[in-house]
Amino acid sequence: MAEGWRGKIGAMDPDRRDFYLEGSALVRISAINEDGYPHVVPAWYHWDGTAFWFVLRERAEIAALLVANPKCGVVIDEGSVKDEANGRFFEMPKVWAQGDAEVIEQPNVGGQWVEIASKMAIRYLGPHGPEYIQASINQPRWLFRVEPTVLKTWEGTGWAKRYWVENEKSVSYEEAHGLSKPAG
């Protein structure tokens, strides 16, 4: 068994992943710019169990890039997450995905995006979420949906075994990850 400070090491099961994605970590979403470079921005997101949803401002550069080329990546990660009320702990949780951004709504005022933005505002801002949405309700926004074609998770302070190179200069994978005690 790994040492407690390392957390659970490995991929998250779907229930644990979904629970983590209900938290308040920001996403970093990337698109490809006209020069072929990644354009990465932090944003709010909503996860529905199948897809990521993004409500983006009409003038957001990332929105224009996603319209021009829908291929994108997302990363959600944090240091430690302690949810003692629900008896859950995440050490260095990470979720990353790739997919195509689908335009659900072009910039508008009062569209489907309002319900999703309202859920996100409460999740990220707590009781002040509705105030934030109401103050900016007349600002046009895009609504994008990204259903991942690749979705990976990892948590814990440790490497996936496939990355570990056994050699005479390093300790074993098990020793390095607290799975066994060193000989001697």
Enclosing domain of residue 170? 4-176
Q: What is the pLDDT of residue 95?
A: 97
Identity (one letter) of the amino acid at 89?
Answer: F
pLDDT per position as a tens digit, 57-92:
999 999 999 999 999 999 999 877 777 676 667 888
Sign of the CA dihedral 42, 92, 149, 145?
A: negative
Q: What is the pLDDT of residue 56?
A: 98
Q: Residue 11 domain-assigned? A: yes
Q: What is the pLDDT of residue 118?
A: 96
Residue 1: pLDDT band with limits 50, 70, 90 = very low
What CATH code is carried by the domain that includes residue 10? 2.30.110.10
Mean pLDDT value across residues 170-183: 79
3-state secondary structure of 168: coil
Segment holding 129, helix H or strand E: helix 129-135
**Angstrom distance (rounded) from CA 158 to CA 11:** 11
Q: Residue 181 domain-assigned? A: no
Q: What is the pLDDT of residue 145?
A: 98
- Cβ atoms of residues 106 and 63 within 8 Å: no
Identity (one letter) of the amino acid at 150?
Answer: V
Number of structural domains (the chain) is: 1
Q: Residue 183 domain-assigned? A: no
90 versus 149: the higher-pLDDT residue is 149
Token pair for residue 168? 């005479």
Q: Residue 182 domain-assigned? A: no
